[in-house]
Amino acid sequence: MAVGIFDSGLGGLTVLSAVEARLPDLPLVYFGDNAHTPYGVRDADDIYDLTTRGVQALFDMGCDLVILACNTASAAALRRMQEGWVPQDKRVLGVFVPLIEALTERKWGDNSPPRPVAVEHVALFATPATVSSRAFQRELAFRAVGVDVEAQPCAGVVDAIEMGDMILADALVRSHVEALMRRMPKPEAAILGCTHYPLVEDVFRDALGEGVAVYSQPDLVAEALADYLARRPEFIGDGQGTRFVTTGDPASVSNKATQFLRRRIEFTAADI
């Protein structure tokens, strides 16, 4: 048994890397649905079908706890999965809540009514599907009032990162930041609502300028997972090391993953 990490492609490797650093002895299985990436331009039903197929594969591999290290899947599929699909003895968690808990300075399990928080103007950068779902705003409303969220759908950024074209990714990020700041000139905080975006976090920070607090997910998710497993140790598992599986071409995906993490990563083909 291990903890599963699911992503539509390679972005979830940023979460995996942070989890490995925070919990070095935790057995993990990483599933990348590279054959169908990106999810951010798909409709909600398509995202749900692909996500449940991938998560079921992780269940079949012995993962009783799965992290959706994909904001699009978390936004478009997680609630529907939790309400009627996830078996009682399994758990599927998303990546939005740790981010919002950090932004609102609320700890896990704080179910008190929503209240004003320190920030009032928040920029959200995410895929088109995540933005259109309004999942971030919905989760935020459970915890905070009086927060103005301006969302920017960042079309093309994930594709550029997956292709390894960081020059294009840089240009696209700057264009999207400029577009958002025409509508919200002075955000106090910026949410990088895609696990690919930490790979270009320095570009976001430079384009946003000083004085904007940037919230990126990997370390926040890793810390939240550590807290969860401290409370629910039965989900830790007794596997060994980390496995990497993909629906894409294993050799190509391995080479790209190696470039991202700067260490050799070997994917095998997913049996689905």
Q: Do the beta carbons of residue 237 and residue 214 sit within 8 Å?
A: no
* Residue of 131, 194, 199, 265 with catalytic role: 194
Tokens 């699009």 map to which residue? 72
Question: What does the buried/exposed string (b/e) look like for 22-45 if buried means 16 or more CB atoms within 10 Å of the residue's CB?
Answer: bbeebbbbbbbbbebbbbbbbeee
Active site residue 154: no
Q: Do the beta carbons of residue 55 and residue 83 sit within 8 Å?
A: no
CA Rg value for the chain = 18
Q: Please state, as a whole number, how many other Cβ atoms lie within 10 Å of the Cβ of residue 251.
A: 10
Separation of alpha carbons 53 and 256, rounded Å: 23
* Beta-strand pair 115-116/148-153: unpaired
Active site residue 70: yes
Within a 13 Å sphere around the CA of 36, how many CA atoms are in the beta-carbon half?
A: 22
Separation of alpha carbons 95 and 15, rounded Å: 9
CA dihedral 177, 181, 185, 191 (to 10 degrees): -50
* Residue of 10, 19, 70, 119 with catalytic role: 70
Which residues are marked as active site? 70, 194
